[in-house]
Amino acid sequence: MSETATSVLAMGLRNAHAMESQALELLERQASRLEEYPEVQAQIQHHLAQTERQLERLERCLDALGEDLSPVKDAALAALGSMMSLSNAMAEDEILKNTFANYSFEHYEIAAYKSLLTLCEIATQRSIVPLLQQSLDEEEAMAKWLKDNVSRVTKDYVTKRERKAAA
């Protein structure tokens, strides 16, 4: 049981690394296009820095298990993240679409980290728990920020459109 759980955990860690590579790509694309929304931009940049540390933490977890990464899968998912942002960039309401996409992405990440923490328990790999817990806390904080800011971003968007229409 423990050996199976450890191999499921290793697979989960590799998947999470690919997921965070995709997150990094999504956030990088958005960060450069948010000059009209400085508060959102600051938060995206803050989470971008956290995402870089989350990737490092996952590498440390894999290392602790004696596992290596899957660069091919990472690259494929990062490209997908890039495409997702690109298609939103073509929309007039890019800021709204990105906000919804980020909110859903954060919840995907939260579920992934919760699953990894459960696997640590089953596989009795306690040494990596604090690393994963820290990342989970960051994802939950980001999800909360997005939830708390959907209304404000929507109002800002309408105000800016009204201003443009009046100009």
| Footprint on residues 1-30 left by Fe ion (CB under 5 A) | none
Per-residue x/- track, 83-122, Fe ion (CB under 5 A): --------------------------x-------------
Helix (H, G, I), strand (E, B) or coil at 139: helix
The CB-of-55 to Fe ion minimum distance in angstroms stands at 11
The CB-of-147 to Fe ion minimum distance in angstroms stands at 14
Contact window for Fe ion (CB under 5 A) among 10-18, 68-76, 134-142, 159-167: 134-142
SS3 content of the chain, % helix, strand, coil (to 5): 85, 0, 15
CB within 8 Å of 110: residues ≥ 6 apart: 136, 139, 140, 143
Among 139, 143, 146, 157, interactor with Fe ion by CB under 5 A: 139
Burial track 16-46 (b if 16+ CB lie within 10 A, e otherwise): bbbbbbbbbbbbbbbbebbeebeebbebbee
The CB-of-124 to Fe ion minimum distance in angstroms stands at 27
The CB-of-94 to Fe ion minimum distance in angstroms stands at 19
Kindly list the residues in this chain that would bind Fe ion in the complex (CB under 5 A). Answer: 109, 139
